[in-house]
């Protein structure tokens, strides 16, 4: 707790340092903001960076990618005019100057106005979808246009791809109508092509309407984040409006489709499905899907969001409860389709822990699903993840289960205190995690309660999206040899802690406008064995591959992650009562070696990787359609994975300690959840491991005895 007091103290003291009277859209306010942020980063960040020429170059490259990563506006001559600043941004920061930003902002506005002026001209002439041609969208390796003429050519080619995608979809609809009704008169290709160009034109009009609403301060926020993200991928500047949205998300309510998005490689990606939301409820999207276009229910045309600022894309996707939005999705496997989603309010309650009984002839086993480590920061005695899991454990014990699965897949973390308390339910007193703070101070967080809620067989399920707090409990239970970790090769690898600093508290008096806030990395996690969970995450005891095995999605794949390191181990004693530990590991590995599904999952993972790295597109109808059909046909070979059904009986349990009966909506959601569990091959293997761990024969002792004889 002392570290938070220290951070607060330098914020309060600095309030007497800065005192200005500034208004929005004032360049002096921008300079002040940079001064304050530099001050906070230098004194509050876990690993402050040296502001030098290397730092300057990294900001330069990141900022230009953020402004025009798809090379749609700037010319080669513009980049040459920016080049003198490649190694001067560090000097500008020290002097609180923004000449580089002013230059790029002015030039961007000029080029955007030019493109807005000529795009309709490019769409007047029909596209020839019979002409063989290709386009490469590997933006990292594409050069900037040499002149306006070449820029127009680039735009024309990209317009053709967008029109071809629309044309192909509409043509398919016409063919289906004809197949269903031979008397149906199909719309001609000429009309379909013309309509496709109209779609693109209207899409561009919407695009520029959104971008023209952007203020100078919005673009300056992009520049600021290009600076702060050099410290690590989780340090982030919230402009005032962004801070309001951040506060809303922390309140426990999400209104929209129920998915978390990010922007990577110039694409809007689905990175998390929020439990209980519309997408989760109807199984509409998957992590790894890319959103290409957004269409409102009352509009015929979809808006292309490629290259759009992520906040603007989110504004289009979000909307009032009950309204519908249509998303054009590029699936993980490469297929493109439109998905309709009815928006809803996702309550925090949907992320609460829930348990299920799994039965077969060998007995009963328990499953606890925990989507996040939730807490009421104002009142820890109120509902939180730790107390809820404890109730579920006690409920499962009353059912005489022989083993328990703790499912932390896709759990992105949450409250540290709940993790420490929860780990204590499975071990006796001892250290759970070590925390090293800004300035090098180390603290060991211990479970002080000697009681153990569950001392039986335990399997923890993880995947690439198990992060932060999930990694702490998985690491602790692994180090204590208290549980078998089953899942992906490693977890996400986020071993850092962030705190949000209100930048307005840095100012003493004056009318200066809202400065926003800075989320800053202040601490680092370490396992009780002394190793950091940063980058390396937690390596599973049993590696069960999944479709994301080869996709870059972890902390190590982010920009500027903090390094992995280790510190002195804490004093702890591994658990000695879990029988058949080694035997269970060996049996599981044998099962997986002989499981025909494993090779198919690995093949699917390689296919997904291939699609993720495919940046080339045909621009003629026959080739474009043939490639799309080939991908669809190939992806059918993976259908067998979705047809799997576990040989167990699943029974969902009412919420432990609940005083009211579940409503019809909750019952329906749990029924859907049970159907998903039946098809979950990872749950099935976890049950088999529990069987090996809970067998009445002490296998390991028998093996040891035989060796002696």
Q: Are 480 and 575 in contact (CB under 8 A)?
A: yes
Q: Are 226 and 63 in contact (CB under 8 A)?
A: yes
Q: In the chain, pLDDT over 90 holds for what percent of residues?
A: 58
Considering only residues 336 and 128, tell me which one the structure prediction assigns the higher pLDDT.
128
Three-state DSSP state, 296: strand
The pLDDT of residue 249: 44
Residue 267 pairs with which residues in a beta bridge? 264
Q: Using DSSP bridges, classify how beta strands 324-330 and 442-447 pair: parallel, antiparallel or unpaired.
A: unpaired
Find the range with the poorest average confidence among 56-65, 544-553, 659-668.
659-668
List, as one string, the DSSP characters of 585-636: HHHHHHHHHT-HHHHHHHHHHHHHHHHHT--EEE-SHHHHHHHHHHHHHHHG
As a whole number of angstroms, the distance between CA 491 and CA 511 comes to 47
Q: How confident is the model at residue 19 (pLDDT cuts 50, 70, 90)?
A: very low
Which are the contacts of 527, defined by CB distance < 8 A and separation ≥ 6? 433, 434, 475, 476, 479, 533
The pLDDT of residue 551: 85
CA angle 321, 323, 326 (to 5 degrees): 125
pLDDT of 253 above 70:
no
Would you give the DSSP letter of residue 187?
P
The pLDDT of residue 88: 97
Show the tokens assigned to 444. 């060991």
Q: Using DSSP bridges, classify how beta strands 404-407 and 324-330 pair: parallel, antiparallel or unpaired.
A: unpaired
Q: Are 501 and 7 in contact (CB under 8 A)?
A: yes
Which one of 55-69, 245-259, 496-510 scores highest in mean pLDDT?
55-69
Considering only residues 182 and 262, tell me which one the structure prediction assigns the higher pLDDT.
182
pLDDT of 14 above 50:
no
The pLDDT of residue 281: 74
The pLDDT of residue 419: 95
pLDDT of 445 above 60:
yes
112 vs 117, 214, 514, CA distance in Å?
Answer: 9, 12, 28
Considering only residues 269 and 49, tell me which one the structure prediction assigns the higher pLDDT.
49
pLDDT of 509 above 70:
no
The CB-based long-range contact list for 168-173 (8 Å cut-off, 24+ gap) reads 168/621, 168/624, 168/625, 168/628, 169/338, 170/195, 170/196, 171/621
Q: pLDDT digit string (tens) for 298-313?
A: 777 788 887 676 777 8
The pLDDT of residue 200: 93
235 vs 39, 44, 623, CA distance in Å?
Answer: 14, 11, 44
Q: pLDDT digit string (tens) for 49-96?
A: 999 999 999 999 999 999 999 999 999 999 999 999 999 999 999 998
- At the fourth CATH level, the homologous superfamily of domain 237-347 is PDZ domain (2.30.42.10)
* pLDDT, mean of residues 477-492: 96
As a whole number of angstroms, the distance between CA 91 and CA 431 comes to 45
Find the range with the poorest average confidence among 64-78, 325-339, 340-354, 474-488.
340-354
The pLDDT of residue 512: 58
Q: Are 588 and 467 in contact (CB under 8 A)?
A: no
Q: pLDDT digit string (tens) for 687-699?
A: 999 999 988 645 5
> String of b and e for 339-363 (b: at least 16 CB within 10 Å)?
bebbbbbbeeebbbbbbbbbeeeee
* pLDDT, mean of residues 5-16: 32
Q: Residue 28 is inside which H or E element, if any? A: helix 27-44
* pLDDT, mean of residues 458-468: 95
List, as one string, the DSSP characters of 335-395: -EEEEEEE-EEEEGGGGS-EEEEEEETTEEEEEEE-S-B---TT-TTSS-HHHHHHHHHHH
The pLDDT of residue 708: 46
Considering only residues 169 and 425, tell me which one the structure prediction assigns the higher pLDDT.
425
Query: To which residue do tokens 């479970």 refer?
Result: 447
Find the range with the poorest average confidence among 98-102, 478-482, 549-553, 685-689.
549-553
Query: To which residue do tokens 């999400």 refer?
Result: 254
* pLDDT, mean of residues 334-339: 81
Which are the contacts of 34, defined by CB distance < 8 A and separation ≥ 6? 93, 96, 98, 224, 227
pLDDT of 276 above 80:
no
The pLDDT of residue 15: 35
Q: How confident is the model at residue 21 (pLDDT cuts 50, 70, 90)?
A: very low
As a whole number of angstroms, the distance between CA 211 and CA 109 comes to 10
CATH 3.90.226.10 fits 351-700, yes or no: yes
The pLDDT of residue 3: 35
Mean pLDDT over the full length of the chain: 86
The pLDDT of residue 250: 37
The pLDDT of residue 575: 84
The pLDDT of residue 258: 79
* pLDDT, mean of residues 453-466: 96
Q: How confident is the model at residue 397 (pLDDT cuts 50, 70, 90)?
A: very high
The pLDDT of residue 11: 32
Would you give the DSSP letter of residue 164?
H
> Nearest 5°: phi and psi at 338?
-100, 135
Q: Are 207 and 158 in contact (CB under 8 A)?
A: no
Show the tokens assigned to 428. 């006796």
Q: Are 22 and 506 in contact (CB under 8 A)?
A: no
Cα atoms found within 13 Å of the Cα of residue 204, Cβ hemisphere only? 23
Estimate the crossing angle of helix 148-180 against helix 189-212, to 10 degrees: 130
Q: How confident is the model at residue 620 (pLDDT cuts 50, 70, 90)?
A: very high
pLDDT of 22 above 60:
no
Q: Are 452 and 541 in contact (CB under 8 A)?
A: no
Q: In the chain, pLDDT over 70 holds for what percent of residues?
A: 89
Show the tokens assigned to 20. 């200005």
The pLDDT of residue 696: 60
Show the tokens assigned to 42. 């230098």
As a whole number of angstroms, the distance between CA 517 and CA 324 comes to 33
Pick left, alpha or beta for residue 66 (phi over 0 → left; psi -120 to 50 → alpha; otherwise beta).
alpha
Q: Using DSSP bridges, classify how beta strands 442-447 and 430-437 pair: parallel, antiparallel or unpaired.
A: antiparallel
The pLDDT of residue 654: 87
The pLDDT of residue 248: 40
Ordered by start, the domain boundaries in the chain are: 49-230, 237-347, 351-700
Three-state DSSP state, 288: coil
The pLDDT of residue 347: 60
pLDDT of 356 above 70:
yes
């Amino acid at each position: 707790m002392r570290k938070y007091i220290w951070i607060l103290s330098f914020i309060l003291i600095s309030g007497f340092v800065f005192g200005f009277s500034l208004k929005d859209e004032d360049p002096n306010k921008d300079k002040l903001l940079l001064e304050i942020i530099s001050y906070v980063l230098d004194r509050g960040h876990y690993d402050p960076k040296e502001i030098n020429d290397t730092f300057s170059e990294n900001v330069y490259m990141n900022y230009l990618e953020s402004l025009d990563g798809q090379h749609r506006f700037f010319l080669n001559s513009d980049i040459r005019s920016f080049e003198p600043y490649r190694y001067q941004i560090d000097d500008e920061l020290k002097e609180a100057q923004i000449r580089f930003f002013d230059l790029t902002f002015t030039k961007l506005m000029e080029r955007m106005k030019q493109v807005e002026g000529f795009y309709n001209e490019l769409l007047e002439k029909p596209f020839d979808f019979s002409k063989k041609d290709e386009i490469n969208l590997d933006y990292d390796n594409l050069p900037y246009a040499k002149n306006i003429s070449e820029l127009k050519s680039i735009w024309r080619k990209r317009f053709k791809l967008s029109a071809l995608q629309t044309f192909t979809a509409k043509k398919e609809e016409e063919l289906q109508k004809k197949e269903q009704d031979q008397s149906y008169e199909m719309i001609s290709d000429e009309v379909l092509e013309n309509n496709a160009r109209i779609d693109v034109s209207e899409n561009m009009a919407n695009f520029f309407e959104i971008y023209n609403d952007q203020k100078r301060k919005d673009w300056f926020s992009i520049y600021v984040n290009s600076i702060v993200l050099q410290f690590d991928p989780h340090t982030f500047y919230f402009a005032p409006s962004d801070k309001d949205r951040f506060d809303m998300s922390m309140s426990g309510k999400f209104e929209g489709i129920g998915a978390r998005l990010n922007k990577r490689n110039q694409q809007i990606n689905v990175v998390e499905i929020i439990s209980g939301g519309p997408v989760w409820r109807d199984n509409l999207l998957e992590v790894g899907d890319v959103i290409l276009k957004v269409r409102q229910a009352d509009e015929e045309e979809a808006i292309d969001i490629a290259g759009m600022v992520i906040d603007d894309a989110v504004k289009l996707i979000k909307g009032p409860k009950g309204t519908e939005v249509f998303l054009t999705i590029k699936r993980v496997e490469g297929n493109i389709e439109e998905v309709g989603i009815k928006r809803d309010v996702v309550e925090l309650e949907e992320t609460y822990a829930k348990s299920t009984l799994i039965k077969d002839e060998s007995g009963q086993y328990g499953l606890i699903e925990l989507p996040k480590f939730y807490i009421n920061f104002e009142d820890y005695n109120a509902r939180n993840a730790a107390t809820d899991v404890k109730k579920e454990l006690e409920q499962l014990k009353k059912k005489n289960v022989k083993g328990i699965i703790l499912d932390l897949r896709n759990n992105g973390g949450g409250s540290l205190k709940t993790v420490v308390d929860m780990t204590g339910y499975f071990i006796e007193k001892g250290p759970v995690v070590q925390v090293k703070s800004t300035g090098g101070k180390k603290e060991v967080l211990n479970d002080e309660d000697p009681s153990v809620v569950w001392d039986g067989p335990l399997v923890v399920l993880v995947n690439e999206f198990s992060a932060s707090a999930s990694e702490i409990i998985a690491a602790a239970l692994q180090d204590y040899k208290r549980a078998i970790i089953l899942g992906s090769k490693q977890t996400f690898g986020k071993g850092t802690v962030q705190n949000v600093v209100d930048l307005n508290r840095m100012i003493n008096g004056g009318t200066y406008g809202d400065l926003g806030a800075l989320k800053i990395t202040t601490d680092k996690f370490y396992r009780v064995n002394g190793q950091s969970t940063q980058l390396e995450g937690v390596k599973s005891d049993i590696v069960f591959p999944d479709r994301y095995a080869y996709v870059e999605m972890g902390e190590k794949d982010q920009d500027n992650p903090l390094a992995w390191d280790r510190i002195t181990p804490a004093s702890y004693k591994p658990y000695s009562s879990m029988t058949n530990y080694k035997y269970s590991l060996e049996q599981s590995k044998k099962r997986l070696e002989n499981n025909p599904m494993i090779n198919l999952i690995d093949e699917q993972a390689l296919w997904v990787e291939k699609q993720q790295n495919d940046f080339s597109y045909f621009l003629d109808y026959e080739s474009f359609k043939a490639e799309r059909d080939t991908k669809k046909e190939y992806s059918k070979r993976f259908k067998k994975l979705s047809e799997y059904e576990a040989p167990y009986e699943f029974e969902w349990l009412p919420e432990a300690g609940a005083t009211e009966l579940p409503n019809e909506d909750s019952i329906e959601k749990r029924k859907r959840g049970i159907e998903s569990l039946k098809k979950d091959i990872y749950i099935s293997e976890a049950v088999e491991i529990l069987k090996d761990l809970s067998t009445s024969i002490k296998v390991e002792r028998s093996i040891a005895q035989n060796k002696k004889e």
